Amino acid sequence: MTSPLQQKLKITGPVVVTANRLGDGAVIYRSAAGAWTTELASAAVVSTAPAATELLAQAAADKLTAVDPYVAPVTVNPGQRVLPGNLRERIRCSGPTVALPGAS
C-alpha cells in the first residue's frame, strides 16, 4: 500500500489537505482562510485535482507549521457534515480506536 504521502493526485471525490503540526505533532487540516485547524469541520474541502493541487501547494509552503501535508479523502454527508474518508483518516481525526491504558 502506498503511503498517502507518495500519492499522485487523483481526485475521485471530496478531499482535504491534512498534515501534522510541527510543534506537537497534532493532526491539522488546511482551512479555506489559508490557516490550519485541528477541526475537520473547519477544513477546506475541494473536489477537483487542480483545486487540490493548489491547496496542497499553499499548505506545503507553510513549512513552519505543518509537516508533510498530503491530500486525504473525506465524505460529505447530506447535512454537509465533513467526515473522514477512510479508516486511517478516521483514526487521525478521532484518535486510537482502543482505550488508552489507565485512561481516566
* Contact map string, positions 67 to 86, toward another protein, x by CB under 8 A: xx-----------------x
Q: Is residue 54 within 8 Å of residue 69, measured between CB atoms?
A: no
Total residues in contact with another protein, by rule CB under 8 A: 26
Q: Tell whether residue 30 is a contact of another protein (CB under 8 A).
A: no
Nearer Cβ to another protein (51/73)? 73
State the nearest-atom distance from the C-beta of 86 to another protein, in Å.
6
Of 38, 47, 3, 33, give the one whose Cα is nearest residue 18.
38
Residue whose C-alpha is closest to residue 58's, from 37, 82, 31, 40: 31
Output the CA torsion sign for 14, 56, 71, 34: negative
Provide the minimum distance between the beta carbon of 25 and another protein in the complex, in angstroms, as a whole number: 4
Q: What is the dihedral of CA 31, 29, 66, 10, to 10 degrees?
A: -100
Site residues (vs another protein, CB under 8 A): 1, 3, 20, 22-27, 63-64, 67-68, 86-88, 91-92, 95-98, 100-103
